[in-house]
Each structure stands twice: as structure tokens, then as C-alpha cells.
Amino acid sequence: MGRIPRWGRRCNRIHSFGPDGKAGGMIRLISEDSPDEEQGPDLGEVVRKIFEPDGILQKTLDFEFRQEQADMAKRVHDCLQEGEHLLFEAGTGVGKSLAYLVPAILHARLRKRPCVVATNTISLQEQLLEKDIPALRKILAGVPGFEDWADFECALLVGRANYLCPNRLERARSGQTELFEAGQREELERISEWVNENPVEGIRQEMSPLPRGGVWDLVNADSSLCSSKCCSPQTCFYRKARARVESSDLVVVNHSLLFSLMGAGYGPSDEEGGVMFADDFVIFDEAHEIPEVAGEHLGLSMSSWAMETSLRRLHNPKQGKGLLKKLGRTRDLEAVEDASIAVEDFFQHLHVRVLGEKSRIRLLEKGIFPMEVFPPLSRVVRSLVELSELSEDENRKLELKDQAKRMQGYLMGLSEVSELKDDGSVYWLERAGKKNQIIHLRSAPLDIAAVLRRDLFGKQTSIVMTSATLTRKGKADSFKAQVGAEEVQEGIVNSPFDYLSNMQVRILMDCPEPMSGNREPYLKYLVEALHGSASAVEGGTLALFTNYSDLQHTYHHLLPRWKKMGRSVYAQGEGHSRSELRAKLIEEGDALLLGAESFWKGFDAKGPCLSQVIITRLPFENPSHPVMEAKTEILAEAGKSSFIELTLPSAVTRFRQGIGRLIRSQTDVGDLLIMDSRILTKRYGSQFLSELPNPNYESLSFSELFGE
């Protein structure tokens, strides 16, 4: 097989997504076309001059010298120079983005190798693109002999379904009477107006509010209609992005897309090396998220909503609309109608007979699904294939083939879940959606470490992982075992912040047991403690929860009281997006924000607008999740405790992430209040206490803290 162009692999990989959006040691790396080490510039010396006291970084950007940042930059350079993997924990405030970006771009330019920077949150992507990468250009422009390198090419890579395809938009508008109802036609016109405003990237995230999924799916670039034959970089946002990525030295991507692509089996050949592109190297920021995100995106995911919507787009007899309205024969329309009924019956069976009153259930037996759904779906696939062969319109042919592949994907997914085909995966069903009516069929590999050891760390390229929370008690053994990177080099630098002076830590020692049979005392205590502590602080407060029910209970009890005070209380899931909640916290300066899940990590608000963080409960993961259940069984067979091996390490890491929301700059000061008294009374509490940035905590009762 000949050498596959880098972009060709990327394009195919992204194009493979379905409607759900899913789809070790030292290595010596000197590419054939790389200059000999003796002939090239001494990049190590360049890195040293940039980060040294009174160096280029300080002179160019007026940044203060941080020894921790200089140490990290040197280790990243050494890793890339020697072709090694590196795990590096850098505490909050080290400036790790520039510490890895500087040596990475130098290495990428000298060796003519693309660098992939993978982040988990949109906020960090925005920080890189809007702040850190422009700063990097200024730094390089100030390095004698490297001024031209400041013009390095950089691109953001997102899944192709996020891009608008003007060609598909025009086709949808011209045939909208066939496919759209009144409300959808209005949404189509809103998208058209947005395009006329010349969006920067042409991705859905630039629209506010976000476009409706049902309409966007018919105009995005995730279709064979968006091809090099029909679209060009001059007219199509996706094609323009492709061209930009093809020539980029630095590509920014999120963890989800990277692992989805990896799970779909695309990428460079073994001979070429690399993870996403030929001869690339990868830097994972927010690397503590790798185990969870990899597990989620290396498995299978299908939903009742996606399947039912796909069939309605082919033919909706109630509205007389759909792709096959004019193209299909009577038997084709009947095939879709039969399949729609079969799919509805299938998921109704799962809803009533399999899930029952449960929101999630692990699948342990093969063949418990009704088989009646398979023949009707197979007939739809045959109809679509036949119609594509009969069509003389090339665009219609491509569209029909796309739909056939999609339906075939559903058949294969249903078969895999029904037969539990992969012994190394765990399968389950779960309900989701606002009304809990959407059923998802899911799977995840049980041994993420084995997959990553082979498909990530086994590649002939350097992998760098960095985060503020990769270790426990100064060691990264637990994390390395989780991701299959047992032999990687590692380094740690602590935060330069003065936590002893700037952070006060208090622990409530008489909080009722949160999981007791009668939760009323706990919930009452929770509400009163939050009200008392948050109202006593002049600035803003972030209260972190481990479940939505407690969060909602607290929000609805505090809302009227805070309105009377003339202050605001906001809650995740109560009408505002995460970015909107952050903006309100910053703007108002004295609000109370209640958050769960994603607010424990990556939420950044500097200054007095966030003067207090409250941890309501120690963040233990739900042990009844199917993946946890299966891993617990495996550990039990080996005579090990899942609590010690899995639950506790994960909770400690999340605990550290939550604490990290408080002090975000050298001048930040704030209070940390921990309400869960188990941190003092349980044996495992010492594991959490040892991770406090300021070990000088004060334990108080409710009456001592609030004077009651």
C-alpha cells in the first residue's frame, strides 16, 4: 500500500461518525527528512534562553520568572528530543501551556512534524487559541534567528459534523418543502442569515442559540455530499478547515474527538508512526481526564432518538415529508414505515420489560433483545442501496449511500449489543434526555490500559501528558496503571502560589451522614450551612455537589432567601449554560453558584468574584455504574478491593480538582469549606487531607462556625 496523505486519513476518520457522534518505554525518533542533530540549532539552548531569569519570556511578555515553568519546559524538550513519553504534573499557576508549547513548536518546525495538543474542555481550547498561542508567536518573534518561526501554522480540529456545508445548505433550502415543517424552515433561514454574517470558522458553536439538531444534521459537512468534487476551500467551511489543518504545524483537538477517531480505527499506518497524523507527536493537557474520556469514546453508543429520527428523515408518513417522498417506490416507503414501527416497538420493549423502573442496567445475557427489529431495518438498507444504484443524480446517489451506511451501522450496533460480542467490553442500557425517554445502548472496553498501551503509547511517537492532578502522595503509579503507561518518564513541579497565606481551610465536623436512611437532617444542614457561609462572604461562592438532586433541593430552598437579600444564586441545569454561569459570577461579584460534575474541573474565575469554594460531599463515583460493577468483579476475583484500587484514587483526584477552582492567580485569596465530616472520621479521610494545599485546616461545628 502506498503512503496515504495525512489529510486523507483524517477526513475519512471524521466522516465515519454516526448520528450519535461516536464513532511504553523509550522510542528513538529521527525522521528520514529531518536534519542531523549535529546540523540543526540547539533547541535546548533556545528553550533555556526563553525561560531563564530575565530571559526572552520576561522581556517579551513582561511575565515573571517561574523556576517551575522553566523546569517543565526543559523536561518536555528533553522528552521530544529523545523520543520518550513523559508524564508531568504541574501545579496551578506554573504556566504549563507555554512550558509545553514552546519546545513543542520548536520541535515541530525543526523536524517538520505536526504537533497535536489535546484538551478536554472548550475553555482551555479557547485559552490556547486566544491567549497562549498568540503569546507563543510574540516569544518566537523575539528569539534571534527564529523570527520566521513565529509564523507557524495552527488550526483547531473538530468533528466534521460541527461544520456547515454551504452546498448542503443550499440543497436543503431548495428542497425544504420535502423535508422540513414550518418551524424547521425558520431554523433553516436563521442558519442562512448566520452564514451571511461571515462566521469565523463556520461551526455550530458560533451560533447562539445553537442550531436545532434535526435541521443541522441536514446541512452539516458529515455527508458524502460534502466532497472535493462538490465543495472547495473557497466556498465550504469544512474544506477550508481541511486545507488549514493539512499545512499546520500545531493542531488543537479535544480528547473526545481524538479517542473517537482512534476507536474508529483510522490513523497513520504502523510504518509511518503517529497517532492522528503521520509522524505526529501528541501533548495531552488536562491529562487526568484520559481514562474517563477514552473509556467513553472507545466504545459503542446508539440511541433511540437517533434511530427514530433517521428513519423519519427518510420518510415521515404523518407529515408527508422525507428524502424518499419523491425518490422512493411504494415498497421503499412501506419498508421505512415497517422499520419505524419495529424500532419503536423495540425500544418500548427495552423501556418497559428490560429497564423497568431503573434508569440504567448492565447487560449480562445474550439474546434478550427482540429480533423482530432486524428484518425491517435490513429491508430499508436494501431499498436505499437499490435506489442509489438507480439514481442518475450523482448527489442523490451519494446521499442515499450515506443513509444506507448509517442504517447498516445501526444493524451492526444492535447485533453487537444483543450478542455481547466483545468479551473485553461491558454493555449496558440507560435512559437520558429531559424527560428520561431516550434510551441509549452503550459499551466500553473494560481494560482501557491495554487499548491505550497498544494504540497510543505503543505508537512510534512521543506522548506528553500534563495536568495539575496526576499523582497521589507525589506518585503517579495509579494513573499510569489506568492508562497503560507504566514505563513513562515522569516529573512534578508544585504550584508557585502561597497557599499557606492565601487559603483558609475549614472543615465542618458535625455534618450528618449524607447517605443515611433519613436524609432530611442532612439536607437541612446542607441548606443552612451553604446559606450561612456564602452569605457571610463579600465575594462570590462556588458550591460543588456530587449529585443533581441535592443541588436542586438546595437551589430551590435558597433562591427566595437570596432574592430578599438582593443577591443572586445560580445553579447548573437551571436555565444557563456553563459559560453563562461563569460570566454572571464574574459580572456580579457576589453570587452563589451551585455546580456539579464539570464544575469540579476546568472552571476558572479569578479574583474576589470567587472568594470561596464549598465541597459539599467527598466526590466518590457511583459504584453501581455498569463499568464500575464489571471492574469490581474483576478485582474481586484477584482478591483486590475496588474501593482502594478505583473508587478512592478517582475521588482524591476529583477532590484536588475541586480545590483547584479557588486560587487561580498569585493575588487570589479565598476560603475552602469542606462539609463532609467523613474526611475526619473515616480511615480513608487521611488520603484527602494529605492533598490539601494548606495542611493547616480548622475543624469546627456548625454552631462554632455560624455562632448559633
The pLDDT of residue 224 is: 82
Instruction: Judge contact between 346 and 370, C-beta under 8 A.
Output: yes
d(CA 12, CA 241): 14
**pLDDT tens sequence across 616-661:** 999 998 888 899 999 999 999 999 999 999 899 999 999 999 999 9
More confident: 121 or 101: 101
Q: Indicate the pTM of the whole model.
A: 0.87
| pLDDT-based confidence at residue 180 (cuts at 50, 70, 90) | low
Q: Has residue 596 got a pLDDT over 90?
A: yes
The pLDDT of residue 22 is: 36
Q: Has residue 426 got a pLDDT over 50?
A: yes
**pLDDT tens sequence across 296-331:** 899 999 999 999 999 998 998 887 778 898 888 999
- For the sheet with 541-545, list strands across it: 569-571, 592-596, 541-545, 612-615, 670-674, 503-508, 698-700
The pLDDT of residue 146 is: 93
Q: What are the beta bridge partners of residue 504?
A: 671
Q: Has residue 214 got a pLDDT over 80?
A: no
d(CA 56, CA 48): 9
d(CA 702, CA 336): 63
Amino acid letter, 28 = R
The length of the chain in residues reads 708
108 grid coordinates: 515541530
The pLDDT of residue 198 is: 83
Q: Has residue 1 got a pLDDT over 60?
A: no
Task: Write out the DSSP string of 117-167.
Answer: EEES-HHHHHHIIIIIHHHHHHHHHTSTT-GGGGG--EEE---GGGBB-HH
Percent of the chain with pLDDT over 90: 67
| pLDDT-based confidence at residue 39 (cuts at 50, 70, 90) | low
The pLDDT of residue 112 is: 92
The candidate with the shortest Cα–Cα distance to 111, out of 14, 40, 28, is 40
The pLDDT of residue 35 is: 39
Interstrand relation of 281-284 and 425-432 (parallel, antiparallel or unpaired): unpaired
Strands (E), 236-300: 250-254, 281-284
- Compute the C-alpha angle 121/295/434, nearest 5°: 65
In a 3-state reduction of DSSP, which class is residue 602?
Answer: coil
199 grid coordinates: 462566521
The pLDDT of residue 178 is: 55
**pLDDT tens sequence across 554-592:** 999 999 999 999 999 999 988 888 889 999 999 999 999
Q: Has residue 499 got a pLDDT over 60?
A: yes
Average pLDDT over the chain, rounded to an integer: 88
**pLDDT tens sequence across 427-460:** 999 998 777 889 999 999 999 999 999 999 998 8
Q: Has residue 266 got a pLDDT over 80?
A: no
The pLDDT of residue 524 is: 95
d(CA 71, CA 96): 10
d(CA 291, CA 484): 10
| Rg (alpha carbons) of the chain, rounded to whole number | 27
The pair phi, psi for residue 428, each rounded to 5°, is: -155, 165
More confident: 32 or 151: 151
d(CA 559, CA 564): 9
Instruction: Judge contact between 288 and 653, C-beta under 8 A.
Output: yes
In a 3-state reduction of DSSP, which class is residue 477?
Answer: helix
Q: How many helices (H) and strands (E) does the chain have?
A: 31, 18
Q: What does each C-alpha distance from 577 to 208, 470, 582, 584, 598 come to in angstroms? A: 11, 28, 9, 11, 12
